[in-house]
Amino acid sequence: MTAGLRAVGRLARLTPHVLHGLWIVRTAFVGMTPEQRHERIQWWSRKTLRILGIELTSSGTAQAAGHLVVANHVSWLDIAAVHAVLPQARFVSKADVKHWPVVGALVTGAGTLYIERTSKRDALRVVHQAAQALKAGDCVAVFPEGTTGAGPELLPFHAN
């Protein structure tokens, strides 16, 4: 099978999967416990990676509740990869993402914490939200570069 046909096949499977994810966060999440939501997030993320032909390998032991993950941000797939292993992760994202079609609804449903990066005052608000999430036993995940990079090299970190 050619690469082009594989890509079309993956897109044909990914589209209904994304729409199903929207249905999950907009309707099914309403009656679920946090643990049930985490199970759905993990299932959805693993299936996303599988549809795209990505094999995820992780090692080590799961951390106790309430921990911070700091990672290099290479692509949008980083979020699915982290959620496949740590479905309780709550990402910190720029506020603009909340308004993106489809993606905004999905990541809001997954518990994303939003920051207005041009406001130093908002950084303090998000620090307090992250602290509350950590105390509640959630995992908070940040990409301090504030954007995706072209590869394994680190970009400059952003304070906001």
Give 54-102 pLDDT, tens digit per residue: 999 988 877 778 899 988 888 889 999 999 999 999 999 999 999 999 9
150 within some domain: no
Tokens at residue 39, please? 């199970």
SS3 83: helix
153 within some domain: no
151 within some domain: no
157 within some domain: no
118 within some domain: yes
Q: Which residue has the tokens 């990066």?
A: 117
156 within some domain: no
Q: Which domain holds residue 44?
A: 3-142
Supply the pLDDT for residue 146: 65
- Residues 106-118: pLDDT tens digits? 999 999 999 998 8
CA distance 105 to 125: 22
**Nearest CA among 82, 93, 142, 140 for reference residue 115:** 93
- pLDDT over 90 for what percent of the chain? 68
159 within some domain: no
* Residue type (1 letter), 157: F
Q: Could you give the number of structural domains in the chain?
A: 1
